[in-house]
Amino acid sequence: VYNHLLPGGMLILSVPNGPRDRRRTDNPYHFQHFTDRDFKTLMQKYFSNIEYFTQAYKKGVKHYGTKILRKMKLLKKQPYFVKNYYVTPGLRNDLKTWIAVAHK
């Protein structure tokens, strides 16, 4: 990826939180589970200007109600989720997705 970025180019990369999701084997697209140390080591191998974030979503009545309706196959999408996500600085082990923003 680094070699394909133009000078000044930006990479936005998201990965599942490795320690949190390591036991989950139901997602065929998650080939690698990184610890926060492994993720940072990989990014620092190629980039020097990196910011890290954790992505999560608010859990409440809408979240759990929608989850139940989806399991019952009464609802196919979770349209409110787009507005329900938020990011926090740093790599938090208790939340679902990690994000790195790096500049070449």
Cα separation, 92 vs 54, in Å, equals 6
Phi and psi torsions of 35, nearest 5°: -80, 165
14 lies in which domain range?
2-103
Per residue in 50-70, pLDDT tens? 999 999 877 777 767 777 777
Per the prediction, the chain carries an average pLDDT of 82
Collapse the DSSP code of 50 into the 3-class scheme (helix H, G, I; strand E, B; otherwise coil) and give the result.
strand
How distant is the alpha carbon of residue 36 from its chain centre? 12
Q: How confident is the model at residue 28 (pLDDT cuts 50, 70, 90)?
A: confident
Number of structural domains (the chain) is 1
Whole-number pLDDT of residue 19: 63
